[in-house]
A and B are shown apart, each in its own frame.
Chain A
Amino acid sequence: MSSGVVFDIKEMAIYDGPGLRTTVFLKGCPLRCMWCHNPEGLSYQPQLMVATSNCVHCGKCMESCPRQGKDCVSCGTCIRHCPQGIRKICGKVWEASDLEGRLLKDADYLKRNGGGVTFSGGEPTGQPEFLIEMLDRTASMHRAVETCGFCREEIFRAVLERVDYVMMDIKMVDREKHKRYTGVSNEKILRNLELLKAGNVPFRIRIPVIPGVNDDDENFERTAQLLKNAENLEMVELLPYHVTAGAKYEMVNREYHPDFDESRQPRLNLEIFQSYGIPCSHL
């Protein structure tokens, strides 16, 4: 039996697949998207997270810290000393059987409401063994994954064999730009997209639309080209960049440095996709 690190379990996830769903966020991601709004999902390890906006700076955490506030090892000593209750260890190690119990508890409810379980991240394929085991253990439920598609082909195939629905990001088609803004080349992603298109699992493609990065017609056009005639493609969904993206960086002691103009409204050109006969909407 494997275990995995999960940084959140969200009930009644509305935007993570059909019906009412519970979404499991697996910790750790191979990408470093400049606009990432879930920085607590980047590292594969449990880590201290502080809701800094509610901090009253009483200093109790420092007083209790065995390392005098330096080089945090996420030991969690300070958590109980915070009178505001705003500190937590983000990322819990779950045994697969325990997580199975947690998810199956609501299986009937979710089924009655047209939903099931979604594995998201971070990047769920970043913990492949755990993900596959969890998909097997929740086989009685409707299963979906939300993925960036960046993983080895055999892992992607194994996932496809086990899920009822896929939500996959195609952030941008240009390889160089992709590398610059996400830290990785999109080669693997585009290859896995072909697997997805050739398979029989219904899927939705999502594009985080970042102002000045990928909201040009050329990128939309090239994405639409890739997706045209994909039989199981349900729709393309544009996720407009939101200025609150940087909100959680301070909470995990990271810095947020977007090099694009955050204040500019992202261009949401639905028509390009629609002109290819691909249903398209935005959140």
Chain B
Amino acid sequence: MKTDFINELLDYFVVQKKHHSYRMPAEGEYELAKQFALQGDNDMQRSVKRLRYVLEKEQPVVLEKERITLLRTVRTIPRIHTEEEDKALHEKHAFHENGAVFNMCPDYAMLMEDGFRVKREKIRRQMELAETEKQKEFLQAMLEVMDIVEEFAERYRQEALRVGNLSVAETLAWVPANKPRTLLEALQFLRLIHYSMWCNGNYHNTLGRIDQFLYPYYQHDMQEGILDKDSALEFLEEFFISCNRDSDLYIGIQQGDNGQTIVLGGSNVDGSDAYNDLSELCLLASRDLCLIDPKVNLRVHKNTSMGVYELATTLTKKGLGFPQYTNDEIIIPSLLRCGYDPEDACNYTLAACWEILVVGYMDLVNWDSMNYLRAVQEAVEQLEACDSYDAFAGLVHQNIDRQAEELMALTKNVYKEPSPLVSLMCPDCLEKMRDISEPGKYNTYGFHGDGLSSAADSMAAIKKYVFEEKTFSASHMIEMLKNDFKDYPTEQNMLRYEAPKMGNDDDYVDQIAVKLLDWYADALEGKRNDRGGCFRAGTASAMYYIWHSKDAPASADGRNAGEALACNYSPSLFARCEGPISILKSFSKPNLVRVANGGPLTIELTDTMFKNEEAIRKCAMFVKSYMDLGGHQLQINAVNRDRMLDAQKHPENYRNMIVRVWGWSGYFVELNEVYQNHIIKRAEMAL
């Protein structure tokens, strides 16, 4: 149950959004960069200066009763390059989104352990070892960044004193200069760092395993009698609400796509269960609040208790679309295969959506996406030359290899903006005296893979109807696809609704999907990028299920040109599946340990599946059963199609209705129609 104080905060920040009145007008993104260009500043200098500019411009706002403070009043985070410079950089370099360091999990705990004071001493000691100007400049930049953040925190402390909020003033008198002593100080520290990262242009960074690295502070407070479970829960809830204060200013494809996730539970290096009291409190806080941020990820493993799954399912029942489950039994071995150290592999977290990250290092896990359906469709163009299904499948294999080569080639010579701020939270930046944007310990590139089910279904249809039953000749099939089935409605109907579909526990088509994933993994295996890292294949679609489908021609599974693909690792939108158990079985057949960059099986269940405790327990068993079958990730959503349709008509009545989009949850009424409609389509297929 939420306390009155939490209800007040919710009303202020989420319902009334009163804090928006403090916001300053937006500015031009490139104004500051013009000055940088005139002064001839290098990227490192620009990065530091931008942070100074934003944090100095910020006007501290401390509310009377809050204990965890900070509010964005500056809307615009300026770019560090002018448009011309940006263009020139794009000509010379490959870009990963806008070039910033983003979508990673900094080692917050490491910085907290030191506090700024000790960290400064360590950097100064390292300064004596620095040989090159570049090294010195980098170390100096880290020192400056700490000064900037600390000065900013000091202004907040002054403001807290002015408004008479002694709690906030006291907290900021201690952190970030020192290692936090209490859970409250640790949460404020984390809020300050995460806030500063957004102001530094570092976006979509997960908060990581907060139940692990905040646990010592929680334990301390419990032992000292400073907190009991209820008051700890209230602090967590206040912190969670703070993640929603500024989120409308965060960049993303859609509102809600902002990468603010937490990762709970998991196993330790010795295989023991890492789930603790704080993990439970985080789940309870999230269930109490029903907000889209932070999104909850739950790491599970063979010793995760049923009780944990059951508690997690009560969040699903609320329609939040999380927690999303990730199976340590698949992910940790997959990371070890990629060459990660066991300590890093066991301490993995999840990125903005579902990509696997290790703490403290920059892997570029959402580089681009391989389009399985395109690989199939390019092979269909040569269908007449194929004398057997195997010959046709061989062409698909070649096309996958070629796309993989293209994807890998495009990762050459990547530009990354320096981030001395994030570098403070990377284990080897200080020792090696190099910025986080430079090649580091692992340097993995991750690729998604979209359209898998449509591709497998299309190949199965061709195998069955062209090569085995000879219902259609190759040229007839090509003609129907070119015609977008306009003159072939009954044939389309048959391909669409009667042909084998992935998701029915039918080896005929499932084994094709197994091969497609294997080919993709084979194509990347053993290859190295120019940062020295490996390439990882994943099963996610991200937004490519919309992007890649828009211009895609009709396909042999009966799909019309332009019709959307399935989101992530899921059956096609018009596959009539036998049921959820068949889906789990189909989607656990592939060698998932080889394609574990991330990307969950996504299942929609109607909200009537969660009526009582017995039903919750059964849904929890269902989730666990996917892990027992060897599944890697699962996203499970309780949906109600009628409510969504009504929300399109009367958005004003559904301001708080939350839905899962691709790897994040958002408010339904804030999404573009194309995403709304896709979610409704998924709900029509709900089981």
Contacts and interface: CB of A to CB of B under 8 A. Distances in A.
Nearest to B625: A113
Contacts of A114: 621
A65 to B, nearest CB: 14
Contacts of B582: 11, 106
A85 B493 contact: yes
Contact of B505 (A9, A12, A19, A105): A105
Interface in A71-123: 79-83, 85, 105-106, 109-110, 112-114
A14 B497 CA distance: 27
B317 interface: no
A20 B611 contact: no
A283 B612 contact: yes
Interface string B493-507: 110110000000100
Contacts of B581: 11-12, 20, 22, 106, 109-110
Interface in B476-521: 489-490, 492-494, 496-497, 505
11 contacts: A14-B609, A14-B615, A15-B611, A15-B615, A60-B489, A80-B493, A81-B493, A82-B493, A85-B493, A106-B582, A283-B612
Given A14-B609, A110-B581, 19 more contacts: A9-B579, A12-B579, A15-B611, A22-B579, A22-B581, A60-B489, A79-B493, A80-B494, A81-B490, A83-B492, A85-B574, A105-B505, A109-B581, A109-B629, A112-B628, A113-B621, A113-B622, A114-B621, A281-B612
- Counting from the closest, the 4 A-B pairs by CB-CB distance are A11-B579, A11-B581, A80-B490, A80-B493
A283 B611 contact: yes
Interface in A3-18: 9-12, 14-15
Nearest to B621: A113
**Size band of the interface chain B makes with A:** 20 to 34
Nearest to B618: A14
B586 to A, nearest CB: 12
Contacts of A79: 493
Contacts of B687: 11-12
Interface residues of A, number: 25
Interface of A: 9-12, 14-15, 19-20, 22, 60, 79-83, 85, 105-106, 109-110, 112-114, 281, 283
A162 B489 CA distance: 48
Nearest to A64: B490
A208 B622 CA distance: 27
Contacts of B683: none
Nearest to A282: B612
A60 B490 CA distance: 10
B625 A19 contact: no
Interface string B183-223: 00000000000000000000000000000000000000000
B580 interface: yes
Contacts of B579: 9-12, 22
A85 B496 contact: yes
A106 B585 CA distance: 9
B10 interface: no
B619 interface: yes
Contacts of A113: 621-622, 625
A12 B493 contact: no
Contacts of A22: 579, 581
Contacts of B492: 83
A22 B492 CA distance: 31
Given A11-B578, A12-B580, A20-B625, A109 B615 contact: no
Nearest to B580: A12
A247 to B, nearest CB: 11
Nearest to B574: A85
Contacts of B618: 12, 14, 19-20
Nearest to A106: B581
Contacts of B496: 85
Contacts of A19: 618, 621
B621 A20 contact: yes
A81 B619 CA distance: 38
B598 to A, nearest CB: 25
